Copies of this chain bind each other. A is one copy, B any other.
Amino acid sequence: MISFESDYTTGAHPQILKRLTESNTEALSGYGNDPYCSSAREKIKAACNCPQAEIYFLTGGTQTNAVVIAAMLRGYEGVVAAKTGHINLHEAGAIEYTGHKTLVLPHHNGKIDPEELDWYLKSFYEDSNHGHMAFPGMAYLSHPTEYGTLYAKKELERIAAICRAYQIPLYLDGARLGYGLASRETDVTLEDVARLCDVFCIGGTKVGALCGEAVVFTKKNAPPHFMTTVKQHGALLAKGRLLGVQFDALFTDGLYMEISRHAIEMAERLKEILQGKGYPFYLDSPTNQQFVILENDRMERLKKEVAFSFWEKYDDSHTVVRFATGWSTTKEELCQLERIL
Protein backbone atom coordinates (compact mmCIF):
# COMPACT_ATOMS: atom_id res chain seq x y z
CA MET A 1 0.00 0.00 0.00
CA ILE A 2 1.24 3.48 -0.76
CA SER A 3 1.17 6.15 1.91
CA PHE A 4 0.41 9.86 1.84
CA GLU A 5 -0.51 9.72 5.50
CA SER A 6 2.02 12.29 6.65
CA ASP A 7 5.51 13.68 6.23
CA TYR A 8 6.75 11.55 9.10
CA THR A 9 5.95 8.03 7.90
CA THR A 10 9.42 7.15 6.63
CA GLY A 11 12.77 7.38 8.38
CA ALA A 12 15.56 9.84 7.67
CA HIS A 13 16.90 11.17 4.40
CA PRO A 14 19.76 8.84 3.36
CA GLN A 15 22.32 11.60 3.67
CA ILE A 16 21.40 11.97 7.35
CA LEU A 17 21.65 8.24 8.02
CA LYS A 18 25.01 8.26 6.28
CA ARG A 19 26.38 10.99 8.52
CA LEU A 20 25.01 9.28 11.65
CA THR A 21 26.79 6.09 10.59
CA GLU A 22 30.07 7.80 9.72
CA SER A 23 30.26 9.66 13.03
CA ASN A 24 28.95 6.77 15.13
CA THR A 25 32.12 5.68 16.90
CA GLU A 26 33.52 9.11 17.68
CA ALA A 27 33.53 9.74 21.43
CA LEU A 28 31.75 13.04 21.99
CA SER A 29 30.57 15.00 24.99
CA GLY A 30 26.88 14.85 25.73
CA TYR A 31 24.00 17.29 26.07
CA GLY A 32 24.67 19.33 22.95
CA ASN A 33 28.33 20.10 23.71
CA ASP A 34 29.73 18.27 20.73
CA PRO A 35 31.34 19.62 17.54
CA TYR A 36 28.40 18.54 15.34
CA CYS A 37 26.01 20.69 17.33
CA SER A 38 28.48 23.57 17.10
CA SER A 39 28.90 23.13 13.39
CA ALA A 40 25.15 22.86 12.84
CA ARG A 41 24.65 26.08 14.81
CA GLU A 42 27.12 27.93 12.63
CA LYS A 43 25.52 26.67 9.44
CA ILE A 44 22.05 27.65 10.60
CA LYS A 45 23.26 31.12 11.61
CA ALA A 46 24.69 31.52 8.14
CA ALA A 47 21.52 30.27 6.45
CA CYS A 48 19.50 32.76 8.51
CA ASN A 49 22.03 35.52 8.00
CA CYS A 50 21.75 36.04 11.71
CA PRO A 51 25.23 35.86 13.26
CA GLN A 52 23.99 36.65 16.76
CA ALA A 53 21.46 33.78 16.77
CA GLU A 54 21.49 31.41 19.76
CA ILE A 55 20.47 27.92 18.73
CA TYR A 56 19.33 24.88 20.71
CA PHE A 57 18.27 21.46 19.47
CA LEU A 58 15.22 19.69 20.88
CA THR A 59 13.61 16.42 19.85
CA GLY A 60 9.97 17.12 18.99
CA GLY A 61 7.47 19.77 18.05
CA THR A 62 5.14 19.80 21.04
CA GLN A 63 8.16 19.68 23.31
CA THR A 64 9.72 22.62 21.52
CA ASN A 65 6.57 24.70 21.76
CA ALA A 66 6.10 23.95 25.46
CA VAL A 67 9.72 24.60 26.43
CA VAL A 68 10.11 27.79 24.40
CA ILE A 69 6.79 29.28 25.45
CA ALA A 70 7.22 28.42 29.14
CA ALA A 71 10.76 29.79 29.15
CA MET A 72 9.79 33.09 27.55
CA LEU A 73 6.54 33.91 29.35
CA ARG A 74 6.33 35.41 32.79
CA GLY A 75 4.16 33.54 35.25
CA TYR A 76 1.06 35.67 34.72
CA GLU A 77 1.22 35.67 30.93
CA GLY A 78 -0.44 33.54 28.26
CA VAL A 79 0.32 32.98 24.60
CA VAL A 80 -1.89 34.37 21.82
CA ALA A 81 -2.66 31.85 19.07
CA ALA A 82 -5.22 30.99 16.42
CA LYS A 83 -8.02 28.72 17.54
CA THR A 84 -6.64 26.08 15.19
CA GLY A 85 -3.05 26.62 16.30
CA HIS A 86 -1.24 23.39 17.06
CA ILE A 87 -0.64 24.47 20.66
CA ASN A 88 -4.36 25.06 21.17
CA LEU A 89 -5.74 21.92 19.62
CA HIS A 90 -3.33 19.08 19.20
CA GLU A 91 -0.79 19.19 21.98
CA ALA A 92 -2.89 17.55 24.71
CA GLY A 93 -2.78 20.70 26.82
CA ALA A 94 1.05 20.77 26.93
CA ILE A 95 1.15 24.57 27.16
CA GLU A 96 -1.38 24.66 29.98
CA TYR A 97 0.62 21.94 31.70
CA THR A 98 3.40 24.50 32.03
CA GLY A 99 0.91 26.81 33.78
CA HIS A 100 0.12 29.20 30.93
CA LYS A 101 -3.14 29.97 29.18
CA THR A 102 -3.57 29.91 25.42
CA LEU A 103 -5.35 33.13 24.46
CA VAL A 104 -7.38 32.34 21.38
CA LEU A 105 -7.94 34.43 18.24
CA PRO A 106 -10.17 33.40 15.32
CA HIS A 107 -8.40 31.66 12.46
CA HIS A 108 -8.62 32.32 8.75
CA ASN A 109 -7.56 29.16 6.96
CA GLY A 110 -5.32 28.51 9.94
CA LYS A 111 -3.83 32.02 10.06
CA ILE A 112 -4.41 34.84 12.51
CA ASP A 113 -5.40 38.21 11.11
CA PRO A 114 -2.88 40.91 12.08
CA GLU A 115 -5.63 43.47 12.67
CA GLU A 116 -7.51 41.09 14.95
CA LEU A 117 -4.30 40.60 16.92
CA ASP A 118 -3.90 44.38 17.17
CA TRP A 119 -7.51 44.80 18.27
CA TYR A 120 -7.16 42.07 20.86
CA LEU A 121 -4.07 43.61 22.42
CA LYS A 122 -5.55 47.12 22.35
CA SER A 123 -8.80 45.94 23.93
CA PHE A 124 -6.94 44.02 26.59
CA TYR A 125 -5.17 47.07 27.92
CA GLU A 126 -8.30 49.22 27.59
CA ASP A 127 -10.31 46.81 29.73
CA SER A 128 -10.19 48.17 33.26
CA ASN A 129 -10.43 44.61 34.59
CA HIS A 130 -7.39 43.37 32.71
CA GLY A 131 -5.50 42.90 35.96
CA HIS A 132 -7.84 39.95 36.55
CA MET A 133 -6.97 38.34 33.24
CA ALA A 134 -3.99 36.41 31.87
CA PHE A 135 -1.74 38.93 30.13
CA PRO A 136 -0.85 38.39 26.47
CA GLY A 137 2.88 37.65 26.72
CA MET A 138 3.73 36.25 23.28
CA ALA A 139 2.24 35.78 19.82
CA TYR A 140 2.39 32.30 18.34
CA LEU A 141 2.17 31.58 14.61
CA SER A 142 2.70 28.40 12.70
CA HIS A 143 4.15 28.75 9.20
CA PRO A 144 3.01 26.78 7.30
CA THR A 145 -0.12 26.59 9.41
CA GLU A 146 -1.92 23.41 10.39
CA TYR A 147 -3.86 23.82 7.09
CA GLY A 148 -0.70 24.18 5.03
CA THR A 149 -1.31 27.90 4.42
CA LEU A 150 1.34 30.61 4.50
CA TYR A 151 1.68 34.15 5.76
CA ALA A 152 2.78 36.73 3.21
CA LYS A 153 5.86 38.75 4.07
CA LYS A 154 3.68 41.82 4.55
CA GLU A 155 1.53 39.98 7.07
CA LEU A 156 4.55 38.81 9.02
CA GLU A 157 5.94 42.34 9.00
CA ARG A 158 2.68 43.75 10.29
CA ILE A 159 2.44 41.12 13.02
CA ALA A 160 6.06 41.74 14.03
CA ALA A 161 5.38 45.48 14.24
CA ILE A 162 2.34 44.89 16.45
CA CYS A 163 4.33 42.62 18.75
CA ARG A 164 7.07 45.24 19.01
CA ALA A 165 4.48 47.92 19.79
CA TYR A 166 3.12 45.82 22.66
CA GLN A 167 6.58 44.55 23.60
CA ILE A 168 5.77 40.89 23.33
CA PRO A 169 7.94 38.37 21.48
CA LEU A 170 6.81 36.81 18.22
CA TYR A 171 7.32 33.06 18.03
CA LEU A 172 7.01 31.18 14.77
CA ASP A 173 6.47 27.44 14.92
CA GLY A 174 8.25 26.12 11.87
CA ALA A 175 7.62 22.41 12.33
CA ARG A 176 7.25 22.36 8.51
CA LEU A 177 9.20 25.53 7.81
CA GLY A 178 11.06 24.08 4.84
CA TYR A 179 7.85 23.45 2.95
CA GLY A 180 6.82 27.04 3.54
CA LEU A 181 10.13 28.40 2.27
CA ALA A 182 10.16 26.10 -0.77
CA SER A 183 6.61 26.87 -1.83
CA ARG A 184 6.25 28.66 -5.16
CA GLU A 185 3.67 30.91 -3.60
CA THR A 186 5.70 32.57 -0.89
CA ASP A 187 7.74 35.76 -0.69
CA VAL A 188 9.09 34.83 2.75
CA THR A 189 12.70 33.69 3.12
CA LEU A 190 14.54 32.13 6.03
CA GLU A 191 16.28 35.47 6.51
CA ASP A 192 12.91 37.19 6.76
CA VAL A 193 11.81 34.74 9.41
CA ALA A 194 14.99 35.35 11.42
CA ARG A 195 14.66 39.10 11.03
CA LEU A 196 10.97 39.32 11.95
CA CYS A 197 10.62 36.76 14.71
CA ASP A 198 12.11 36.88 18.19
CA VAL A 199 12.30 33.14 18.24
CA PHE A 200 11.36 30.41 15.81
CA CYS A 201 11.99 26.77 15.21
CA ILE A 202 13.18 24.89 12.18
CA GLY A 203 11.47 21.54 12.05
CA GLY A 204 13.60 18.52 11.34
CA THR A 205 11.23 15.64 12.14
CA LYS A 206 8.87 16.45 9.27
CA VAL A 207 11.63 17.52 6.88
CA GLY A 208 13.80 14.47 6.60
CA ALA A 209 15.27 13.91 10.08
CA LEU A 210 14.55 11.05 12.47
CA CYS A 211 13.68 13.65 15.04
CA GLY A 212 14.76 17.13 16.00
CA GLU A 213 13.77 20.78 15.99
CA ALA A 214 16.24 23.68 15.99
CA VAL A 215 15.17 26.58 18.19
CA VAL A 216 16.60 29.91 17.02
CA PHE A 217 16.62 32.94 19.33
CA THR A 218 17.36 35.81 17.01
CA LYS A 219 17.79 38.88 19.20
CA LYS A 220 20.31 37.77 21.81
CA ASN A 221 17.23 36.91 23.81
CA ALA A 222 17.72 33.30 24.77
CA PRO A 223 16.37 32.90 28.30
CA PRO A 224 19.18 32.62 30.89
CA HIS A 225 20.29 29.05 31.57
CA PHE A 226 17.98 27.82 28.84
CA MET A 227 19.78 24.47 28.79
CA THR A 228 18.74 23.92 32.41
CA THR A 229 15.14 24.72 31.49
CA VAL A 230 15.37 22.21 28.64
CA LYS A 231 16.63 19.60 31.13
CA GLN A 232 13.89 20.50 33.61
CA HIS A 233 11.30 19.74 30.90
CA GLY A 234 12.91 16.35 30.23
CA ALA A 235 13.90 17.59 26.79
CA LEU A 236 17.68 17.30 26.95
CA LEU A 237 19.15 14.32 25.11
CA ALA A 238 22.23 12.72 26.66
CA LYS A 239 23.48 11.89 23.15
CA GLY A 240 22.96 15.40 21.83
CA ARG A 241 25.01 14.33 18.82
CA LEU A 242 21.87 12.65 17.46
CA LEU A 243 20.44 16.11 16.83
CA GLY A 244 23.72 17.84 16.02
CA VAL A 245 24.71 15.38 13.32
CA GLN A 246 21.27 15.51 11.73
CA PHE A 247 21.02 19.29 11.61
CA ASP A 248 24.61 19.53 10.46
CA ALA A 249 23.68 17.27 7.55
CA LEU A 250 20.45 19.17 6.85
CA PHE A 251 22.31 22.46 6.63
CA THR A 252 25.21 21.13 4.56
CA ASP A 253 25.03 21.79 0.80
CA GLY A 254 21.44 22.98 1.08
CA LEU A 255 19.96 19.58 1.94
CA TYR A 256 17.14 21.10 4.02
CA MET A 257 15.87 23.11 1.06
CA GLU A 258 16.51 20.27 -1.38
CA ILE A 259 14.29 17.97 0.66
CA SER A 260 11.68 20.73 0.96
CA ARG A 261 11.64 21.50 -2.74
CA HIS A 262 11.29 17.84 -3.60
CA ALA A 263 8.25 17.48 -1.35
CA ILE A 264 6.74 20.64 -2.83
CA GLU A 265 7.21 19.34 -6.38
CA MET A 266 5.57 16.10 -5.39
CA ALA A 267 2.74 18.07 -3.74
CA GLU A 268 2.19 20.08 -6.90
CA ARG A 269 1.83 16.90 -8.88
CA LEU A 270 -0.43 15.49 -6.14
CA LYS A 271 -2.62 18.58 -6.39
CA GLU A 272 -2.91 18.16 -10.18
CA ILE A 273 -3.91 14.56 -9.75
CA LEU A 274 -6.53 15.36 -7.12
CA GLN A 275 -7.87 18.23 -9.24
CA GLY A 276 -7.85 16.06 -12.33
CA LYS A 277 -9.96 13.50 -10.53
CA GLY A 278 -12.42 16.17 -9.49
CA TYR A 279 -11.84 16.05 -5.76
CA PRO A 280 -13.04 19.25 -4.11
CA PHE A 281 -10.34 20.94 -2.02
CA TYR A 282 -11.20 22.02 1.50
CA LEU A 283 -8.92 25.03 1.03
CA ASP A 284 -6.04 26.03 -1.18
CA SER A 285 -2.73 24.96 0.34
CA PRO A 286 0.52 26.01 -1.34
CA THR A 287 2.64 23.56 0.64
CA ASN A 288 3.11 19.80 1.09
CA GLN A 289 -0.24 19.07 2.75
CA GLN A 290 -3.39 18.92 0.59
CA PHE A 291 -6.86 18.79 2.10
CA VAL A 292 -9.77 17.36 0.14
CA ILE A 293 -13.36 16.59 0.97
CA LEU A 294 -14.32 12.96 0.48
CA GLU A 295 -17.66 11.23 0.57
CA ASN A 296 -17.52 8.80 3.46
CA ASP A 297 -18.17 5.78 1.24
CA ARG A 298 -15.44 6.70 -1.13
CA MET A 299 -13.09 7.37 1.80
CA GLU A 300 -13.69 3.89 3.15
CA ARG A 301 -12.95 2.32 -0.22
CA LEU A 302 -9.81 4.39 -0.78
CA LYS A 303 -8.44 3.58 2.66
CA LYS A 304 -7.85 0.02 1.55
CA GLU A 305 -5.35 1.03 -1.11
CA VAL A 306 -3.77 4.26 0.06
CA ALA A 307 -2.97 5.69 3.46
CA PHE A 308 -4.04 9.28 4.22
CA SER A 309 -5.09 11.17 7.36
CA PHE A 310 -8.49 11.88 8.82
CA TRP A 311 -8.59 15.64 9.37
CA GLU A 312 -12.06 16.60 10.48
CA LYS A 313 -15.70 15.79 9.94
CA TYR A 314 -17.11 17.94 7.13
CA ASP A 315 -20.76 16.97 7.40
CA ASP A 316 -22.65 13.78 8.12
CA SER A 317 -21.68 12.22 4.80
CA HIS A 318 -18.33 13.87 4.06
CA THR A 319 -14.92 14.06 5.70
CA VAL A 320 -11.93 16.30 5.25
CA VAL A 321 -8.81 14.22 4.70
CA ARG A 322 -5.18 15.11 4.24
CA PHE A 323 -2.65 13.86 1.72
CA ALA A 324 0.94 14.81 2.49
CA THR A 325 4.22 14.45 0.64
CA GLY A 326 7.70 14.31 2.13
CA TRP A 327 11.38 13.61 1.43
CA SER A 328 10.64 10.05 0.38
CA THR A 329 7.61 10.59 -1.85
CA THR A 330 8.31 9.30 -5.35
CA LYS A 331 6.82 9.91 -8.80
CA GLU A 332 6.01 6.22 -8.89
CA GLU A 333 3.85 6.54 -5.80
CA LEU A 334 2.04 9.46 -7.41
CA CYS A 335 1.40 7.45 -10.55
CA GLN A 336 0.08 4.63 -8.46
CA LEU A 337 -2.15 7.07 -6.59
CA GLU A 338 -3.49 8.41 -9.87
CA ARG A 339 -4.44 4.91 -10.92
CA ILE A 340 -6.17 4.22 -7.63
CA LEU A 341 -8.20 7.44 -7.34
Interface residues of A (CB under 8 A from B): 2-3, 5-6, 8-12, 14, 17, 20-21, 23-30, 59-67, 70-71, 74-76, 78, 89-94, 96-102, 104, 123, 126-129, 131-135, 205-206, 210-211, 224-225, 227-229, 231-239, 241-242, 307, 310, 312-313, 328
- Most B CB within 10 A of own CB, among A26, A93, A238: A93
Q: Are A135 and B27 in contact (CB under 8 A)?
A: no
Q: Provide the bound-state CA to CA distance between A70 and B62, in Å.
A: 18
27 contacts between A and B (CB under 8 A): A2-B27, A5-B27, A6-B238, A9-B28, A9-B30, A11-B24, A11-B26, A11-B242, A17-B20, A25-B328, A59-B211, A60-B234, A60-B237, A60-B238, A75-B229, A78-B96, A90-B132, A91-B231, A91-B234, A92-B133, A93-B99, A93-B134, A94-B234, A96-B101, A97-B233, A104-B104, A135-B228
Nearest opposing residue in chain B for A333, CB measure:
B27
Q: Are B134 and A63 in contact (CB under 8 A)?
A: no
Nearest opposing residue in chain B for A231, CB measure:
B92
Q: How many copies does the complex hold?
A: 4
Q: Provide the bound-state CA to CA distance between A310 and B74, in Å.
A: 27
Q: Are A134 and B235 in contact (CB under 8 A)?
A: no
Nearest opposing residue in chain B for A123, CB measure:
B313
Nearest opposing residue in chain B for A130, CB measure:
B228
Q: Provide the bound-state CA to CA distance between A29 and B28, in Å.
A: 32
Q: Which of B9, B134, B312 contacts A96 (CB 8 A)?
A: B134
Q: Are A231 and B96 in contact (CB under 8 A)?
A: no
Q: Provide the bound-state CA to CA distance between A8 and B34, in Å.
A: 12
Q: Provide the bound-state CA to CA distance between A78 and B127, in Å.
A: 27
Q: Provide the bound-state CA to CA distance between A218 and B151, in Å.
A: 47
Q: Provide the bound-state CA to CA distance between A123 and B315, in Å.
A: 12
> Which residues from B are CB-within-8-Å of A29?
5, 9
User: A270 → chain B, closest Cβ, in Å?
Assistant: 15
Nearest opposing residue in chain B for A4, CB measure:
B27
Q: Are B234 and A67 in contact (CB under 8 A)?
A: yes
- Most B CB within 10 A of own CB, among A24, A66, A75, A307: A75
Q: Which of B9, B104, B206, B310 contacts A129 (CB 8 A)?
A: B310
Q: Provide the bound-state CA to CA distance between A97 and B97, in Å.
A: 8
> Which residues from B are CB-within-8-Å of A98?
99
Beyond the given A8-B30, A92-B232, A93-B134, please list 20 additional residue pairs across the A-B interface where CB-CB is below 8 A.
A9-B30, A10-B25, A20-B210, A59-B237, A64-B234, A66-B234, A90-B133, A92-B131, A92-B134, A96-B134, A97-B99, A97-B233, A131-B228, A135-B228, A205-B238, A205-B239, A210-B239, A210-B242, A211-B238, A234-B235
Q: Are B96 and A96 in contact (CB under 8 A)?
A: yes
Q: Are B78 and A93 in contact (CB under 8 A)?
A: yes
> Which residues from B are CB-within-8-Å of A17?
20-21, 24
